[in-house]
Structure 1
Amino acid sequence: MESALQWILGALVILSSVLSVFFSYRSRRTANAVLRGLYGARMNICLGSTLILLALIQMLLFSGSTLRVIVGAVFLVLGLFNLFAGMRNHSHFTKHRSSAQ
């Protein structure tokens, strides 16, 4: 059971990290400001998901030492901040995109 959870969380971390790099690349390469904002927001969402998954790995799969709990809590707070900021920015740029068309 624990091994399956470890593999699932590991695969999700890799997937969200790859998507974060992909959206970062697309954000930096596009000339359109609205698309740049959308890709940046998606990158923030993926980065937040990565940090939240890393916090879950730290808190669920390893022994509960004080340092691990602190690092997991910091990752969780940073991940939630990135996730919500990315969601807010995504809705903002989606409105701009639909009004520009």
Structure 2
Amino acid sequence: MVNALQWAFGALIIVACFFSAVYSYRSRRTKDGRLRGLYASRMNISMGLMLIFIAIIQMFMFTGSSVRVAVGAVFCLLGLFNLFAGLRNHSHFTRLMKQ
């Protein structure tokens, strides 16, 4: 059971990393500022999810040491911040795209 969860979270990390790289590339290559912001916000959402998944693996899937829990907590906080900022910016740039 634990092994299956590790594989599932590992796959989710790889998918989130892939989408983060794709949106980073797209945001750097586009000329339109609104699209650039929209792609950057999607990159932040993907990166936030990736960091949260890494934190879950660090904190819950292995034997708990204080260093591992501290690193997991830092990754979780960074991931939540990226997720919040990405969702906020995504709603802002989506409204700009509709105008």
Establish whether residue 91 from structure 1 lines up as the match of residue 91 from structure 2.
Answer: yes
Task: Tell me which residue corresponds to 2:51.
Answer: 51
Establish whether residue 13 from structure 1 lines up as the match of residue 10 from structure 2.
Answer: no
Where does structure 1 differ by over 2 angstroms across 4 or more consecutive aligned residues?
Answer: none
Whichever residue aligns with residue 17 of structure 1, its letter is: C
* Deviation at residue 70 of structure 1 after TM alignment: 0.2
* 1:62 alignment partner, SS class: coil
Task: Tell me which residue corresponds to 1:33.
Answer: 33
Where does structure 1 lack aligned partners over 5 or more consecutive residues? none
Q: TM-score, normalised by structure 2?
A: 0.99
Q: TM-score, normalised by structure 1?
A: 0.97
> What CA RMSD, in Å, does the superposition of the two structures yield over aligned residues?
0.3
Establish whether residue 73 from structure 1 lines up as the match of residue 76 from structure 2.
Answer: no
* Deviation at residue 60 of structure 1 after TM alignment: 1.2
Aligned residues: 99
Establish whether residue 82 from structure 1 lines up as the match of residue 82 from structure 2.
Answer: yes
Identity of aligned residues (%): 60
Whichever residue aligns with residue 93 of structure 1, its letter is: F
